[in-house]
């Protein structure tokens, strides 16, 4: 699928709570690719996280149709009552962000998420609008909606403040619930440590949060304003990771985040050992004042635990080639 400079384009990056069953993952991919005007750019399967992130781009109505169809497949094939994984989760399609990519406003994308939310809600799935689409301020933050994960949903459904934006105000045992919304680019980026001690990764993530919350206008505090972090152990890679979401790629370049966390790691007598990108990344997020894109990729070790191909993993290279 090729797009033109005049096309309205949206990127969609839904996260599905399945990283082990290839049949299910393929069925979701097929549902996405079956729609004309869609280009599936990446399928990132996390075995230990038991989660797969799909990245695809398309015109507005095609994005709506492809995403709805993918969620229908997830509803059929994923049962959250049996789901276990390292990554926090609350639903079969856990979170579904729409990102304005080309010739489309954030408000237009918000309207599309509302339209899709109504359709998903009609399937019997509780839908919570988040980020730019949120109708309730505290729901802007995904971590607020996901707090307690799938296991906390029955208790949440007893409180009026957890009434969903769309769908039934009741516990869907098989699917769970979904966060849906429009947002800017987010980079999901994990930094490897040369230790298996998850406690160290969690301590570093806690330190990032502490520095961020100081808001003292220091370099690190400013850098970490756009970085959310948790620590976990990845058996697949035999190492602990500091798992981050970088929510503002202008404020927090990936290379700077890597270097800062490398310095924090030294305080715990460990070193960083490369890093891992989940999904795709905009070229701007890898920008550096003195290093080329290839040098940044080498510096932060993006090939350390799984292949990184700039022609496939950098959005602009992949989309318009």
Secondary structure (DSSP) of 277-300 = EES-B-GGGG--SS--HHHHHHHT
At 71-110, the pLDDT tens digits run 999 999 999 999 999 999 999 999 999 999 999 999 999 9
Kindly report, as residue ranges, where domains of CATH 3.30.70.670 are found in the chain: 187-319
Q: 52 - beta bridge partners? A: 16, 45
Residue 55 has pLDDT above 80, yes or no: yes
> Which residue spans of the chain are classified as CATH 3.30.990.10?
9-182
What is the percent of the chain with per-residue pLDDT over 90, rounded to a whole number?
96
Q: Give the pLDDT score at 17.
A: 98
Picking from 268, 209, 280, the residue whose alpha carbon sits closest to that of residue 240 is 268
Q: What is the pLDDT of residue 2?
A: 80
Measuring CA to CA, how many Å separate 106 from each of 63, 112, 266? 15, 10, 41
CATH 2.130.10.10 fits 9-182, yes or no: no
Q: Is the pLDDT reported for residue 321 higher than 80?
A: no
Please tell me the predicted confidence (pLDDT) of residue 194.
97
Q: What is the DSSP string of 121-190?
A: HTTT--EEE-GGG-SSGGGGSHHHHHTTTGGGHHHHTTSGGG--SBS-SS--TTTB-EEEEE----EEEE
Active site residues: 87
Predicted pLDDT at 1 = 78
The string of pLDDT tens digits covering residues 16-52 is 999 999 999 999 999 999 999 999 999 999 999 999 9
Contact 286, 254 (CB under 8 A): yes
State whether CATH 3.30.70.670 applies to domain 187-319.
yes
User: Tokens 């990127």 map to which residue?
Assistant: 11
pLDDT digits (tens, 9 = 90+) for 214-251: 999 999 999 999 999 999 999 999 999 999 999 999 89
């Amino acid at each position: 699928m090729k797009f033109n400079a005049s096309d309205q384009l949206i990127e969609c990056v839904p996260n599905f709570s399945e990283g082990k069953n290839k049949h299910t993952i393929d069925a979701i991919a097929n549902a996405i690719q079956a729609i004309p005007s869609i280009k599936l750019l990446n399928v990132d399967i996390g075995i230990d996280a038991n989660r797969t992130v799909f990245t695809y781009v398309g015109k507005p109505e095609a994005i709506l149709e492809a995403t709805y169809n993918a969620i229908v497949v997830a509803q059929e094939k994923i049962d959250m009552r049996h789901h276990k994984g390292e990554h926090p989760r609350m639903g079969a399609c856990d979170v579904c962000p729409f990102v304005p990519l080309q010739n489309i406003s954030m408000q237009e994308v918000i309207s599309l998420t509302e339209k899709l939310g109504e359709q998903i809600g009609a399937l019997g799935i509780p839908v919570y609008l988040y980020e730019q689409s949120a109708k309730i301020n505290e729901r802007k933050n995904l971590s607020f909606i996901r707090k307690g994960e799938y296991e906390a949903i029955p208790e949440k459904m007893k409180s009026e403040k957890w009434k969903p934006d769309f769908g039934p105000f009741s516990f869907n045992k098989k699917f769970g619930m979904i966060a849906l919304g429009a947002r800017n680019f987010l980079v999901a980026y994990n930094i490897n440590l040369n230790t298996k001690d998850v406690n160290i990764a969690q301590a570093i993530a806690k330190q990032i949060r502490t520095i961020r919350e100081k808001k003292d206008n220091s370099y690190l505090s400013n850098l970490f304003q756009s970085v959310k972090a948790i620590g976990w152990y990845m058996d697949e890679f035999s190492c602990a990771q500091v798992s981050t979401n970088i929510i503002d790629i202008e404020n927090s370049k990936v290379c700077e985040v890597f270097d800062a966390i490398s310095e924090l790691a030294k305080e715990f007598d460990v070193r960083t050992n490369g890093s891992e990108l989940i999904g795709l990344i905009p070229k701007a997020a890898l920008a550096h004042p003195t290093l080329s894109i290839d040098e940044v990729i080498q510096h932060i070790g993006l090939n350390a635990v799984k292949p990184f191909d700039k022609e496939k993993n950098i959005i602009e290279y992949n989309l318009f080639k």
